[in-house]
Structure 1
């Protein structure tokens, strides 16, 4: 007569039963969500240990507002379009460039993870999707950018730039998120493609100031020579700056309103938003082949 022997549960199974170890989710969507949450939490833990990153990211744009606003406070009214003062004109540029700078630096943590070997371990892990690395970085940078933008908007209102309406603030938030998503994807692509952090830092330094001055952040298109007007009209930052600036200067704004007189066309607010959507989509699509790479 044979006797059936029931194997005793292993320690791992006991821990799972007791809830000490979380059972991995069965569905791909749940696994992807769990990966995004874990990777995002790791970035916020790093920020908690080094809060100087956020503090410096808030102090710098406030200094831009105060110093540049004071530098041009005596310019004749109407010189910078419909803006009541230069602080109101500058606020949109500071919001966008702060978000852009933070997103451009998004690749640095990934590059350091790559150099220290953590990224390789992550890439060989049974991830539901490597795209979770991109989404986690985008969530982290977007949160940082929204905090910085809130401080900039509050400070600019204190300095006399005014405060957009609730609908205007919603559009400003959407513009910041679209810009952050696209630039973060491009920065992460550079972190995967470049050989080391020295090269990535060099690209960041070389890119920052030219894109700032070749945009409408500091001066309107009408102040620029013709060739620079074309360059600024092709700069994605201008398509984020001008809608925000229009919202600041027009309380009764609409999506069909012209926000920028480019040399080749009149750009409406809806057109600018569509261009930002396309820019973010291109950024996300361009990084997909690089996510399949493995590193020695």
Structure 2
């Protein structure tokens, strides 16, 4: 365990040092969620007048949706970094050192989690500046950021698994483009589930993106529903553990093929 923790620390330090040398990446990737926030916030402002929407401000409803969807889009392409390391030979060199394979995976998870948390905080601040309210206070916002991190790690782990197994950029890009819209619009990111068609509502209920949104919004409400937070957050945490475990196992498959 000590070796795993030490390896995770140094591998995370390496990845964060590389990220800090190119901070423009974090800024550039914020452009899309900022567009979502202000464009959709203005475009669908009157949708809250529909009976049964359940909130008086669309911006209040939208901010958690943008936070979670930014986590999805930010982390879906994490496997591209793994492809870069495979092509440079960096990953092969790490796999013949004493560093644990779990440490390599954990470092990627830590980097994506920190990036996601930072961008989530920026979006929350921009939403507040635009007039959004967060009745759940600091605790509710902490839950929302945690849910964004968890759903981001799920997508990053799956992207890395795919990169290790297929080692093809076009496959990763194609699958991500194909999945991004269904994950977005078959969730409660932009529309209350009660106003969706029946079949779409059932799909959204099984969508991990909706789990993150349901937990975040439950924690941010005037009267936080901690039971809903625990149920949806627990399901998302279990899925996170499973996908990270899958990413670690994929290193074995990759190593055997070398």
With structure 1 as the length reference, what TM-score do the two structures score? 0.80
**The one of 81, 100, 118 aligned to 1:147:** 118
| Aligned equivalent of 2:240 | 280
**Distance in 2 of aligned mates of 1:270 and 1:151:** 25
Q: Which residue of 1 aligns with 2:231?
A: 271
Q: Could you say what the CA RMSD is over the residues aligned between the two structures, in angstroms?
A: 1.9
Which of 118, 128, 143 is the aligned partner of 1:157?
128
Higher helix share: 2
Q: 1:66 aligns to what?
A: 38
Q: Following TM superposition, by how much is the alpha carbon of 1:57 offset from its aligned partner in structure 2, in angstroms?
A: 2.1
Match of 1:184 among 146, 156, 163: 156
Kindly tell me the number of residue pairs found equivalent between the two proteins.
Answer: 255
Structure with larger RCO (C-alpha < 8 A, sep 6+):
2
Matches within 5 A, 1:49-64: 49-64=21-36
The answer to whether the 8 Å contact 1:80/1:86 transfers is: no
Give 1:229 shift.
1.5
Q: Which has the larger radius of gyration?
A: 1
Describe the shift of the 1:97–1:206 C-alpha distance in structure 2 as closer, same or farther (beyond 3 A): same
Unaligned runs of 5+ in 2: none
The answer to whether structure 1 residue 125 and structure 2 residue 97 are counterparts is yes
What is the CA distance between 1:185 and its match in structure 2? 1.7
Aligned to 2:237, the other structure's residue is in SS state helix
Q: Of 88, 92, 106, which residue of structure 1 is paired with 2:64? A: 92
Using the TM superposition, give the Cα deviation of residue 79 of structure 1 relative to its aligned residue in structure 2, in angstroms.
Answer: 4.7
Cα 1:66–1:80, aligned 2, differ >3 Å: closer, same or farther?
Answer: farther
Q: What 5-or-longer segments of structure 1 have no aligned partner?
A: 1-27, 257-267
TM-fit CA distance, 1:76: 4.8
Retained in 1: the 8 A contact 2:34–2:123? yes
What TM-score does the superposition give when structure 2 sets the normalisation length?
A: 0.91
Moved over 3 A (4+): 74-80
Q: 1:200 to 1:81 in 2, by over 3 A?
A: same
